[in-house]
Structure 1
Amino acid sequence: MPDYSAFFPLIATIIGAAVIIGVIRLAIKLMWKVAEPNEALIISGLTRGSQDTRDGMDFKIVTGKGALVIPGLQTVRTLALTLNETELKVSCVTSQGIQVIVDGVVIYKIGDAAPFIANAARRFLGQQPKMESQVYNVFEGHLRSIIGSMTVEEIIRERDKLASQVRSASGVEMEKLGLVVDSLQIKDLQDPTGYIQNIAKPHIAQVKMEARIAEATRNREAAEKEAEAAALIADAQSLSAIRQSVAQANAERAKANAAQAGPLADATARQQVVVQETEVAKLEADREEQKLQTTIRKPADAKAYAQRTEAEGQKSADISAAEARARRTELEAQANAKRTEIEAQANATAAAAAAGATRVTGEAEAAATKARGDAAASAVQAKALAEAEGIKARAEALGTNQDAVISQQLAENMPAIIAAAAEPFAHVGQFTVLNGGEGVNRVIGGILSQVGDYLPALASALKNGRGTPNRPPKAPDA
């Protein structure tokens, strides 16, 4: 069995060294202090002060690194470098003698430089809660002092200036305390007397008035714009409705034209047919009129002329006979008168021989005068009879005048004439009139006008037949 006794001293030495190293390491760990980023280590005791300390203060300030602290010989304490906040509520009097209450907040911290840390350590190390009251007292005094030199209007308008002046005035005291002001804000300015409210009333009234005016103006402009928009909308709707109506009317018109295209074409074709048939009817009517002129009117005129000539010849013969009878009667009356005169003369001669010759002569003359009167009366009577017979002859001639013949023939042939005028329409199966009642009247008037063309001829015939009667011949003088 090997002998290991020779290794025991070596093992004991190694173990002892390890223990010593462990103890040293543990001692170093316990004595080594490291400062956090937001704190400073204040080491006092067996140490030498840093060159930044003043007034013979022999302590060491460590920030952002570590330091070896020998227990029993040195003491280490921490000083927080974090932000602190102090509320301000200070009652002040302005230069106008008006009381105001200032509400603000101060945000501060211990300065990062060694002098600031040294000053703070001498004043607040172990008593940092007292910083708030100290800061309040510093800013309270400076606020009252500065606000006492300002008016309310300046405080309201120049809060930044107020904060800047307060920070400047308190800078020395804060530096002595080792503090740095990060921010000073004036949050509110209370006015127990109502001064601020009163000075604001005119402006508020002015602003309200301007606001009402602006609102009324805006409302008016909005109403005008709305009215214009409504008018434009109405115009657009009206124009759209008109366009829709026009489009619908055009569509309806096109539809109606399309629907009426066929019937209209048929009606146009039928109208052309009717026009052609009407022309044919007119030609046929003209032919019938010429035929009537040749076969009826001219023979009737010739016959009437013959009858009128015969009546005039008969009338002349009757007048001549009447004149002859009147002349004969006159001659007989003259002969009787002459004979009576001769007899009277004879009787007068005989009576002259008697005692009453004068009386016989007077009676003879009276008888002669009476005979001449009777002869004249007979002549007048014969002339009157002759005129009566002439008038009777003219009446008989007028009774057999051509007008009567033409009228009788027209009456007898009138159905045939009307049938001939209406014959072109007998072949029309369907008759379409485009102009309503006026078209019907025109068609019927066209038919009747063909018959009415014969009426002027009839009136002319009547006028010629009823011309100025021939004057009776003068009776021969008695």
Structure 2
Amino acid sequence: MIIGVVAGTALVALIILIVLFKLMWRVAEPNEALVISGSRHRTDGVDNGLGFRIVTGRGTLVIPGVQAVRKLSLDLNQTELSVECVTQQGIPLKVQGVVIFKVGDDYVSIANAARRFLDQQKFMGNRVHNLFAGHLRSIVGGLTVEEMIRDRDKLTAQTRAASGTEMEKLGLIVDSLQIHEIDDPTGYIKNLAAPHAAAVQRDARIAQAEASRLATEAEQKAAARMSEATRDSEILQAGYQAERDKAAATAQQAGPLAEAAARQEVVVQETRVSELEANRREMQLQADVRKPADAHAYERRTLAEADRDARISAAQANARETELAAAAEATRVKTRAAAEAEATRARGEAAAASTRATGEAEAAAAKARGLAEAESDRAKGLAEAAAIQARAAALAENQEAVVAQQLAEKWPEIVQAGAAAFGNVDHMVLLNGADGMSEMFAKALTMGGTGLGLARQLLSAMNPPATAPAADPAGPVAPVTPLNGTRITVQEEGPQSV
């Protein structure tokens, strides 16, 4: 009985101890820290006299009613950043990002966080947002838009470095800071990217055009090869078809060809007979007509050649006589000229001494005059050369017109030479009017010499014969003065006297 009571009492005491131990034992989860206050404890790394104890990752006894136990979460927290900033260039931007943070694992960080956020853990994100927003505005104010775009890591690093001290005081550590987006309400970033976008678009269009060109060239080459293959095939087919058509035509025309060959043989024989007949007639004509005609022509040709040789011999004799007379005259003139030249040389040598000084004095002036005259002669020679060239060109193109112009220039002399034939005539009566005048002038001009024959032709071309008026039967009969002993009377409207 006593043993049972003792055993029961011991069991009850054990149960009470277990219940008390359960009530007093607290275990910290891996993601939390127990903050036990109500007694002075020493914690490694923490100054004495904190008034609370920190337990992480293990269990501890807590005296109910004497000590208070509260939990501080060590989980990750995040806060969204949406900060309106102004850059160094004065351009407003809106920076959006996220900060992932937590309470530090060391006792100092847990103690600092417990003092500030133990009962306000839900406001921890707002405090961190305000902290990072202030530092972010300060850092963005010292950067340009280009630096922020091209080096976001620099912005992130500076922001974390600037907020590190404050976060350490709060007992917090930053696991990650990311800048998601930089909004540009003024469009500066878009305009900044416009030249690069245009260059990329230009390069893309150029690459597309080059690719299109290469594709077009390849398609054209392929089409050309297809056309060549089609052409070769059609040529071969046409050749085969031509051979088939030729064979068919040959087979169809075998009979007509045999008949034509027989007829051709007949025609050949008839042609040979005709040729023999033609040869016989030709030989007959040779004997009857051609040989007598050739003999007569040979006789006339021989007589003409003999007459021509006689005239040539007479002309050569006259030319030789004229040449000898000219040579004698030239020798005489040359002798006289040599004598005069010798005399002139003697006189010149005598006068050279006296005239040399004067000549040297006048040399400069004479040289200037000579240069001027030479330039004038040169210009005149160029003009004459141009005129001769133009006259030669005109003569090549229209010889008759040039000859007519030269005759027209010499016309006064030609007329004067022709008028000399009438120097001893006191009175002349023309019997046939204008025709008689033209004929008389032509004869008179012809009397002026062989060169005047051209003038007569020019006169005939310039004064075509006028149609003589019809004779009036009732008109007067004009008596004229006898010429060469013959008296001639002509009936017409009236004689013209010169």
Specify the structure having the higher radius of gyration (Cα).
1
Using structure 2 for the length normalisation, give the TM-score. Answer: 0.48
Normalized against structure 1, the TM-score is what? 0.50
